[in-house]
Every structure is written in C-alpha cells, then in structure tokens.
Amino acid sequence: VLLYVLLISHNPFHEADCQSPSGRQAVEAGVVRLVAQGRFDTNAEGWTRLAHDARALIGGSLRVAPQERPSATDALRDPWLSRALAEAPDAATAGGGRPGAQSERWKAEHWAELHGFQQLGWLAIARASAEPELCPDVVEAARVAAAALPCQSKSEGYLRCLAQEIATSESGRWLQAKGAWSDVLRLAFCYLDADRDGALSAADLAGHIEATTAEAAFDEARQWITEWGEPASPCSNGSRPSPRSAGSPAALSGSGAEAPDASEVCGLSPADLQAALFASVQPLGGAADVGCCTAASYAGAL
C-alpha cells in the first residue's frame, strides 16, 4: 500500500471515497470491502505509466491470500526494487539506512573496513563463482563499476568489483543457485591453498598478499592465521607451529630442507575461511537496520 501511495500519490483503495460519501465509517467499511475483494485502482494514469515489473510487485503484494504475497525479504530482492534503489543511492541511504541495494559509497566504505583475510576470501569467492550462478544485478553492478576504472585496471578490477558487490550483498542474495555455496567455497579454498594440503598455511597466504618484502608478507600471513585460526588446535596434529610448518620465509626460499610432513602443516581450514566470510556480513549498525543480517541468517540464505 505504501509503495503504491509513493508511486501513484493516492491510496489504492480510494474508490471507497467515491462510493461512500456519507461519512468516515462508511468510507472505512468501503475500504475494508475493497481490500477483502483485492480490488484496487488500476486505472489511474500513474499506474498505467509504471513499468510492468513494478506493477507486478505491487499487485502481488496486494493479493488477498497472505500465502500468495511475497515476503518482506522476497520483496526487497525484487529486481525492479533493487534497480530503483540502485539508481537513487543517496535518497535510499538517507539517515544512515542500508536498503537492499547499497550505495556505492557505503559499499566502498564497508569493503575498506574488512580484514585483509576477509577481502582475500571474497576475492577468491568471486573468482570461484560462475556468472550464471550469480544474480544478474550483482554481475551488472560489478561490470558498471569496473567500466569506470582506468583501462589498465579493468581485468583485475572487475574481479575486485565483483568481490565487493558479493561481500556487501545482504542475506546471500548474490548467489542465484542457492545450493552452490559449498562448491563455490571449496573452489575458493583450493585457489588459496597453493600446495593443496587442505590448510591455508602462511606460505599459501603470503603468495596472495601484496607487501613490500616477502618477510612482510609472511608476517602478515602468520598474523592472519593467529587471528582467524581455531585457538584450540593451532596445528592439525595439536602441536605448536614450528617456523617451517608455519610457512616462514625460509620455507619459501628453497633451502633444500625437506618439506614438513602433512600432519605438521599449520593453517586455516575451510571452516575458518567460511567463518571469516560470514563474520564480514554481520550488521555494522545493529540488527534492526534494513538489509542487515547475522552470520547465521546469511548461512541459512545460502
């Protein structure tokens, strides 16, 4: 009803005013009757000018049977509403709200606030996702954002823009094939796990970190493992990490020493990667914010 009023400028059941001019109670009874019959004004000039998918959203929301109406979540995911919000990001986010289609500024700010491991994880997810698995509006938004980048940055820029779109999409709405999450996560983990040993060691992570020196990359990678790894089991065999098994620069330098046994490899598991990704979509402004979700609800949406 509110969406109809905002777009058409009058109540969808205003016909009751014409049919019952005798008083307020009669008008209210007329409105109730029209609502029960599912009859609303489809002859208004504003209605006929609306896009077909906009009329479909409103008409579906005004159905008499509750089970035939879209839920609030489904309505927020509606393609027309997503496009409308994306085309007016400043108005959509007035007062600090975060609707279904976030403003470009909010997306950039939220991405910048993510931990380096979370950013790397979403980049891997973007790389592992096939476009047919993704919602078209997410792919299109990434393409538009990448097109605005300098020519030399477009190839890698599209991947980063896609990762940003995915990371800032609420309730997992970016993944069109809902059952595909486990496969996407597995492929993303395999991309990061360079030695294919089933754990993201410092050596694996350092290869994906842009740093001034190899030592700096390893230091950052080791810090990531400390922050995001399971505290109860720093190594898969329960022991404390040794310099080589933790992926030190010496392990990467090819000194001739034997590689550590697989049972001694320390690092992050697929569950750790998933936990870091889900943690990044928890609401910044409180669960009451529009478009927010908890890690649990995000996991459920996928």
Residue range 213-259, pLDDT digits in tens: 999 999 999 999 999 987 544 453 333 343 333 333 333 334 343 44
CA distances from 8 to 1, 14, 61, 64 (A): 10, 12, 15, 21
pLDDT, residue 136, reads 85
Output the pTM of the full model. 0.56
Q: From 113, 156, 128, 99, select the one nearest 274 (Cα to Cα).
A: 128
Q: Tokens representing 213?
A: 């020196």
Mean pLDDT, residues 159-163:
91
More confident residue, 220 or 39: 220
Q: pLDDT band at 46, cuts 50/70/90? A: confident
- CATH number for the domain running over 1-87: 1.10.510.10
pLDDT, residue 98, reads 42
Contact yes or no for 136/263 (Cβ under 8 A)? no
Q: Which amino acid is at 109?
A: E
pLDDT, residue 97, reads 43
Q: pLDDT band at 144, cuts 50/70/90? A: confident
